[in-house]
Structure 1
Amino acid sequence: MSEMQLSPKMLEDVQAAISAHDPAASDDVITVQYLAALQGMMLAQMSMPQAQREDIASQLADFTRHVLSEMSRPPAPPPQQEAFGIWKPGKS
């Protein structure tokens, strides 16, 4: 599987598409509910055994928690640089 290409633009486009369908989806929680429902709807339409669809749903829930954890981390501080300049006593 190739690496996923997530971007703020992609998120904005998806949110806009859902909001165009239902103006109440301007609320982010409602948008997330739509995304979860669409995921379930897509899985239900796949031609595979129910147990396999449920396994995929479970894996997707784990993946969602992983992405949430990764995206919620504070950004790493910039690497420290060596100080430079000339210090003279009594001068600030």
Structure 2
Amino acid sequence: MHLTTQLARQLTSQAERSAEVEFNRQHALAREAERAVEAIVASGARLKQSEQAAGSERCDAGDGGRPESDQTPNRSHSRPAPEELDDDLDDDDEQPSHWLT
């Protein structure tokens, strides 16, 4: 009976050590993940600041925030004309000749 008790204590002690090692490993991984998230958030904040700074520099230059090489009209704030919204392809009132031109 004495050997059984001693073996049980050894196995319990070994299991406790293994659990502690695993806990420490998981804790270290969690800290590492937390640092990675903090680095990503900081990087995103720096990127946002630099984009805002670049945008304000463009607006200060009076070009509406578009690069000089961009010759396309700024339509981001305009609404499409009603004819651009016509998505009814089955209109009977439209003539086929209109489609061909």
Q: TM-score range by the shorter chain?
A: 0.3 to 0.5
User: Whose helix proportion is higher, 1 or 2?
Assistant: 2
Instruction: Give the number of the structure with larger relative contact order, counting CA–CA contacts within 8 Å between residues 6 or more apart.
Output: 1
